[in-house]
Structure 1
Amino acid sequence: MTLESELAAARELDVGEIAEAVHRIGFECTRCGHCCRGMGEEHTATVFPDEIRAVQASEEYDWRDVARPMPFGLADDDPSGDTFEWALQTDVCGDCTFYDADGEACSIYDDRPLLCETYPFSITLGEDDVGTSEPMGSVVDTDGPVRAHECEGLGRDITREEAEELAATLKERAIRELEEAIAVRDNYEPVDADGVVVHDSEGQKRPDGTSLDGSR
């Protein structure tokens, strides 16, 4: 499937069907924090440019307080190279910097990215196993287009209203991730520049969120 056909399929997703799957599987967040912590690896939750700006606006954060270049393809000991998209910033332990371990809560909960908002679920769109990016944890349950990933909150009671709200957000995420992927592809330009270059849906940026020409 092309990205455009995947996007068309995502726009045709039945929210009621997604909600039925979520309701059957069941889910309630236990505030265990596993999805916010690296758990021995670096936390890499994808965050898009406008999501970064939403978090910035909420607390007047610097871009680098919110996000960092997605580390895939970048060597730890070589601060240069190209990568795609952004990850939420992490602390020295590799956990999401916005996770409050003492309060067992997310400090940007109202502005958290769609990936975080829909955890531990993802969407698949057919025989080629395409769809939204998958969160941490192996797949432990599937129902139609819905995948549930390993999480201790699965199997708990969820109201139909809550399931429908989550289903609508899952569809929104599926659409949004594909729109972003198309924009990244269409805006991609090879560059010859020193340091790290991040290719996102808006073009090429430095790690501080500025474009290569220095504009925001």
Structure 2
Amino acid sequence: MQSLEAELEEARALDIDDLADAIESIGFECTRCGACCKGEDEDDHTATVFPDEVRELEESDEYEGDYDWRDVARPMPYGLSETEAGDLEGETFEWALQTDDCGDCTFYEEDESGTGACVAHDDRPLICRTYPFSVALAGTSQPMGEAVDEEGVVRAHECEGLGRDISRADAEELARALKERAVRELEEAIAVRDEYAPAGPDPGEVVVHDSEGAKRIDGTPLEE
């Protein structure tokens, strides 16, 4: 198995034209069905987000300071456990976009016809910009289960918009975002590994380890 550093070099060497060729071959057009923004069955929507992306949404002029860290992001639930009092505790290693009471992304809305829209579309994170695609490199996220199609290193995940015609310009834009995401995910994984220090056998709260160190659920450093 290659090291994360070797995978990062592969990600940095990804060719935009090759990625765009693969995306064109698979085909994609968003139908605004909202499936990628909603929870599924009893599982909440889960989309990973980098700490700087959380701040961009939190500080966006569009929301005029209405959001704080917890409005935008929540700890990735994997690795956490529930106490007798019903609170969560433990350590996890990623942030996920916050969800509403229905388990859908907090930034997702539907109009009266049922057509979905992202209210943070211009500031949406890379994982949202690149869905339903990922690249087949260790250390990168593979959203929404197994791939249903693939071309070279590009994988496509379940989405009703797959197989539709896509323009070359849109394929190239998506390819650039896909490469950026792959690089960022590997840089994040390496930084998390290098920054990690166990919070202790009984942290008594939720601790999220990201590339900037250990944080509480409100995004503040654990040591403060």
- TM-score calculated relative to the size of structure 2: 0.91
User: What are the ranges of 5 or more consecutive residues in structure 2 without an aligned counterpart?
Assistant: none
Q: Letter of the aligned partner of 1:56 in structure 2?
A: E
In the other structure, the counterpart of 2:157 is: 149
The answer (yes or no) to whether the contact 1:124–1:131 under 8 Å persists in 2 is no
The answer (yes or no) to whether the contact 2:33–2:116 under 8 Å persists in 1 is yes
Secondary structure of the corresponding residue to residue 150 of structure 2: strand
In the other structure, the counterpart of 1:212 is: 222
- 1:186, 1:25 → 2: CA distance? 37
- 1:199, 1:24 → 2: CA distance? 38
- 1:20, 1:131 → 2: CA distance? 23
Query: Which residue of 73, 77, 80 maps to 1:71?
Result: 77
Larger mean Cα displacement after TM superposition, 70-79 or 44-53: 70-79
- 2:24, 2:123 → 1: CA distance? 25
**C-alpha RMSD of matched pairs (Å):** 1.2
**What aligned pairs does 1:95-110 form with structure 2 within 5 A after superposition?**
95-102=104-111, 104-110=116-122
User: What are the ranges of 5 or more consecutive residues in structure 1 without an aligned counterpart?
Assistant: none
Secondary structure of the corresponding residue to residue 80 of structure 2: coil
Secondary structure of the corresponding residue to residue 64 of structure 1: helix
Q: Quick one: percent identity of the two aligned structures?
A: 66
Q: Which runs of 4+ in 1 moved over 4 A?
A: none
In the other structure, the counterpart of 2:124 is: 112
Query: Which residue of 204, 207, 220 maps to 1:194?
Result: 204
Displacement, 1:138? 3.2
The answer (yes or no) to whether the contact 1:100–1:106 under 8 Å persists in 2 is yes
Deviations 1:59-89 (A, max 9, x none): 2210000001110011243421111110000
- 1:156, 1:123 → 2: CA distance? 20
- 2:12, 2:223 → 1: CA distance? 35
In the other structure, the counterpart of 1:162 is: 170
The answer (yes or no) to whether the contact 1:66–1:89 under 8 Å persists in 2 is yes
